[in-house]
Chains A and B, each alone.
Chain A
């Protein structure tokens, strides 16, 4: 369960980092291109720490469990060969249904407003999440959370300020921002519905009870949207499935690029 939990966190970090990295070279102005890439690098760094920890846990599993943990033939081949798996194997060789990230982080960039809205929803969650995970009974996760909290604090500052700038900027930016906030809203509920792994880990004091983060998140989002002269979206139907491996079509395309090299040229050093 802890392995599943670690991967759940790692996948969120990798996928949102991947999305943000797509902006590199295409930002609206050099300064912000650089800023967004810093954030992408933070997420990627967190993903690496978590995948390293996940690989370590995987390598300590009993042999029989290693065989069935993931459907990936590439990983099963490694196990059969008696090889240890690495952070890269976790990221590049697992199949889509073994990814446990939320649907929110895999949504496409579309424009600056969507990118800011997605970042804002995630950063707000991640800020409260890291604040709580820092007290984890698991020292590795606690240490990762402590480092990540500093980054998440800055990310939230960046995305909140942009929500306000765009919301309270020009008529066009207001409209675009409101649209992005509304459209991505249905992907926010999933963050606060605990998966089995999240429940089990929260019970053991290792993970965070995500259902408890919801009111903190709501309050912060409400305040920022008010500052931005934007309307809070109405409660409504929430999309779910990412935490159980049922993803949007987006993930397939992300993995096609992300995993291309490792899948096309298996077992090589780069």
Chain B
């Protein structure tokens, strides 16, 4: 086949919604875009362990502690599934880590915000995981097989995350005055960053059109954001919390909420590294990786030694 016919064949598969698999021919752009998106997603899971990990040792009950520990561990698992999916495209996990640690690769900016009180565990589960699920569910049918399969697993496991977050918020909202204050304070701090999670407005989003065609993305940033607002505002009512947006208003005609302007200047600054925790998050990850090097090397050295001993024993026999 000529390159032209390869491309035609690929386009044909995409149009017929047939899954692309690792050994199939694919355009370079497709491969690059996928590596970028999957690894960003994986990095987000791994960095995302840190703000919640903060509260594992301080969780207020043994039950909450177990749940939080299991949840943060799930995020490690999700990172692992996604790195594996990226590896089928011809990169190694070590390469991807290098990109993360050098600041070349991006991850979801939301994790550059601090977790200041226990209520943040509720707000993250409810809002951040809620927004993530909305982004992720459509990806279970994305065009690249390994990515789609990883996302099926992620979404299956993710379903308890949002619920446990909402449950924390519900308990706080039914609790004492200080607990309600804690819940509202967390809501105030996490609401806007959650809306930013869907990415820049469609008009300024360079990758959207191509990505939608490739089913790497299935709805636009603004569509998903609106859907999230409409669902979440109703949930906030159940919690008795006030949405921190004075311009929020039901629009009868659209059947959706109108909302205030997002501070995109803040968003771009956090993306560029000026968020409250960018430096700590990256340094924590680098430290764990660098301090783990001798451990990883030891395990390899030991495996190598044992292999050689086995071969020697086989030769002697």
Residues of A within 8 A of B (CB): 18, 21-22, 24-34, 37-38, 40-41, 44-45, 47-48, 51, 87-88, 91-92, 111-112, 164-166, 168-170, 172-173, 176, 254, 257-258, 260-262, 265, 268-270
Contacts and interface: CB of A to CB of B under 8 A. Distances in A.
B79 interface: yes
B76 A29 contact: no
Contacts of A92: 60-61
B288 interface: yes
Given A27-B288, A268-B179, A169 B62 contact: no
B297 A169 contact: yes
A34 B269 CA distance: 33
A contacts with B: majority SS: helix
Interface stretch (B48-56, B148-156, B194-202, B242-250): B48-56
A21 B295 contact: no
8 A-B pairs with least C-beta separation? A28-B292, A169-B298, A173-B298, A261-B60, A25-B53, A25-B49, A270-B60, A28-B295
Contacts of B103: none
Interface string B27-46: 00000000000000000001
Contacts of B66: 41, 44-45, 48
Nearest to B288: A26
Contacts of B172: 270
B175 A44 contact: no
A109 to B, nearest CB: 11
Contacts of B297: 169-170, 172-173
B contacts with A: majority SS: helix
A125 B305 CA distance: 29
9 contacts: A21-B69, A30-B79, A30-B80, A33-B76, A88-B62, A169-B301, A170-B298, A265-B176, A270-B64
B61 A88 contact: yes
B57 A18 contact: yes
Nearest to A259: B58
A260 B56 CA distance: 12
Contacts of A31: 80
B286 to A, nearest CB: 11
Contacts of A48: 62-63, 66
B304 to A, nearest CB: 9
Contacts of A261: 58-60, 118
